[in-house]
Structure 1
Amino acid sequence: MYGWVQKMISKTKMARYSLPPKFTLVFFLAIICITDGKYLTLDYYSKTCPKVSDIVHSEMESAMSSDPRVAPQLLRMHFHDCFVQGCDGSVLLDDTATFKGEKTAGPNMKSIHGFGVVDKIKSRLESECPGVVSCADLLALAAKDAVILVGGPYWDVPLGRKDSRSASFEKANTDIPLPNDGLMTLIAKFLAKELTPTDMVALSGSHTIGVARCTSFRDRIYGDYQYTSKDGVELAKLKEICPVKGNDDNITNLDYTTPTLFDNAYYGNLMRGQGLLNSDQELYSSILGFQTVGLVKKYAEDSLLFFKHFSDAMVRMGNVTNPHGGEVRKNCRIMN
């Protein structure tokens, strides 16, 4: 980013030689703010809402004590939000008579849950510091706490995102990675968000928690490259849960070994041919997996390395912000 700014300034001799030093600095910072949505800070709410992290953590802890499924739900919600227009809270907007949001798009419908938890957290934040904390920042903080509370790593969350004044049903259908995407399609979708194949493999490790609907893994268990299981027992169980036709909404754990613990077991599953989704197994079994196969092996062997790369990737994904800016919604479901 800074190299790009430098080139812009160097191409314009007037900007380089004629502008006063102070104006040049302001011009430089203005370009960063306008063109780089990653301009977030760790102390963004230090004066305006210093208890924001404590409030989000407390509400997540309370919600998860009642329903452990909240952890993968909020993590997935943040992921799906960031892949459409950047991390801007657009996934939270309800449909109205004149507005179509993202909730009913294919990758989100019957897949994204936990909106009531978001409402409760937002209500607490509005009571503490009205009109200050964006819903997009709320999601980023909640995703971090979701991971921590089920045994995963900690990371510092840069803050300062704005909530979008729009949503994109179309982009939700095209930009979000799908359960049956091939490896090259997956890599392309991540690269479009400036996320590397390493980020992709690390972020896929979030499937160490959570569940998938029958419609998401049916092709995996009946396709040409079937789920591998010792004596066929696990495969038989999956086929019982998800027959060739019907029972589309039946669910099973993405990681059958430690489904409620955030660990590196997911990668061991891939090495045994037991990734639940085609998109999971592609990371290890695709003949095009020149970069991904090695990463799967490394993460399966070294949980600390996985945690480090996952944390770094979550920060990078969270830095994919909406270049058009926005507002701070009072209610995450509707624009102000």
Structure 2
Amino acid sequence: MIREAVKKAMMNDNTVPAALLRMHFHDCFVRGCDASVLLNTKGKNKAEKDGPPNISLHAFYVIDNAKKEVEAQCPGVVSCADILAQAARDAVSLSGGPTWYVPKGRKDGRISKATETRQLPAPTFNISQLQQSFSQRGLSMDDLVALSGGHTLGFSHCSSFQNRIHNFNATTDIDPSSHPSFAASLRRICPLHNKVKNAGFRLDSSPTTFDNTYYKLLLQGKSLFSSDQALLTTTRTKSLVSKFARSQEEFNKAFVKSMIKMSSINGGTEIRKDCRFVR
């Protein structure tokens, strides 16, 4: 039922897989995988989905549709968090990536605060900030490199990589680790005082296919985020990037292992009937 809901949405919108994968990641990194990212703002409490890093999240309706189907068949049994974890897996496999068994039993949380989205790793992070963010959640540097491969799907707004193509530091405008012609093309799409709403660039050259292109481009200096480039700044992480760039199979294997690990971060206490509201 969940897979069908994802498949149906993908037929109308090819950005759905990237959206669901990112949604699951953003859910797990705040309060664990408890579907708190799905809750709507209520009264004075601004929910996670309205926090700055989550403003661009979309495709919540896919989870709503899947939940409706599942509730009709087995009411009160399957949490929204379990549905989101499985939808993220289906998003990957339906985009040409691997599939895996998603362990079940997550519970949904009751608390969702926009202020807590500050805990999410930012695209401007360096390697030590990334390491700290991941290790606080029981995830290793290997997990960091494998999960960063999720950037094989999707698109980014200019604001997330502006720091690398304008006023990089006191002496240079452009991040010297960025490929010159690639950086020049990004500057054309994203001028300094960009007025075009939703302007941005794809995360890799095949943004709707789950493959290892992200790592190949990263080694060529054609990554978008500082946090991507940061993976080349330690021997361990750089050797993993090279390994995944060489072998789609090795990447798939590592990605599956790290996804299962990340999606097992505990969170909630109940099973919500409606993913957007606490009963």
TM-score range, shorter chain: over 0.9
Q: Which has the larger radius of gyration?
A: 1
Aligned match for 1:243, one of 191, 196, 214 = 191
User: Which residue of structure 2 aligns with residue 293 of structure 1?
Assistant: 238
Cα drift, residue 269 of structure 1 = 0.8
Cα drift, residue 98 of structure 1 = 4.0
**Which amino acid in structure 1 is aligned with residue 144 of structure 2?**
M
Aligned length in residues:
272
Matched, 1:73 2:19: yes
Write out aligned runs for 1:24-63 (5 A). Answer: 55-63=1-9
**TM-score normalised by L of structure 1:** 0.78
Cα drift, residue 226 of structure 1 = 4.3
User: Which residue of structure 1 aligns with residue 201 of structure 2?
Assistant: 252
Matched, 1:146 2:91: yes
User: Which residue of structure 1 aligns with residue 49 of structure 2?
Assistant: 103
**Which amino acid in structure 2 is aligned with residue 277 of structure 1?**
F
The CA distance in 1 between the partners of 2:144 and 2:124, in whole Å, is 15
Matched, 1:183 2:127: yes
User: Which residue of structure 1 aligns with residue 171 of structure 2?
Assistant: none
User: Which residue of structure 2 aligns with residue 334 of structure 1?
Assistant: 277
Deviations 1:132-181 (A, max 9, x none): 111100100000000000111111100010100112323211x2111101
User: Higher mean Cα deviation, 177-186 or 115-124?
Assistant: 115-124
Q: Residue 252 of structure 1 aligns to a residue in which SS?
A: strand
The CA distance in 2 between the partners of 1:84 and 1:290, in whole Å, is 29
Q: Is the 8 A contact 1:87 1:136 kept in 2?
A: yes
The CA distance in 2 between the partners of 1:260 and 1:163, in whole Å, is 30
**Which amino acid in structure 1 is aligned with residue 214 of structure 2?**
Y
Matched, 1:276 2:221: no
Give the ranges of 4+ consecutive aligned residues of structure 1 lying more than 3 Å apart after TM superposition. 226-230
Judged with a 3 Å threshold, the aligned counterparts in structure 2 of structure 1 residues 218 and 226 are, in CA distance, closer, same or farther, namely: farther
Q: Is the 8 A contact 1:207 1:254 kept in 2?
A: yes
Q: Unaligned stretches of 5+ in structure 1?
A: 1-54
The CA distance in 2 between the partners of 1:132 and 1:248, in whole Å, is 41
Q: Residue 103 of structure 1 aligns to a residue in which SS?
A: helix
Task: Report 1 or 2 for greater relative contact order, CA contacts < 8 Å, sequence distance ≥ 6.
Answer: 2
Q: Is the 8 A contact 1:94 1:334 kept in 2?
A: yes
**Which amino acid in structure 1 is aligned with residue 257 of structure 2?**
D
Matched, 1:267 2:215: yes
User: Which residue of structure 1 aligns with residue 140 of structure 2?
Assistant: 196
The CA distance in 1 between the partners of 2:261 and 2:113, in whole Å, is 22
Matched, 1:170 2:115: yes
Aligned match for 2:33, one of 76, 83, 87 = 87
Q: Residue 187 of structure 1 aligns to a residue in which SS?
A: helix
**Which amino acid in structure 2 is aligned with residue 99 of structure 1?**
N
The CA distance in 1 between the partners of 2:175 and 2:212, in whole Å, is 23
The CA distance in 1 between the partners of 2:193 and 2:44, in whole Å, is 36
The CA distance in 1 between the partners of 2:250 and 2:116, in whole Å, is 32
Deviations 1:18-56 (A, max 9, x none): xxxxxxxxxxxxxxxxxxxxxxxxxxxxxxxxxxxxx00
The CA distance in 2 between the partners of 1:176 and 1:96, in whole Å, is 22
Q: Unaligned stretches of 5+ in structure 2?
A: 169-173
Q: Residue 275 of structure 2 aligns to a residue in which SS?
A: coil
Q: Is the 8 A contact 1:214 1:248 kept in 2?
A: no
Write out aligned runs for 1:97-136 (5 A). Answer: 97-109=43-55, 111-136=56-81
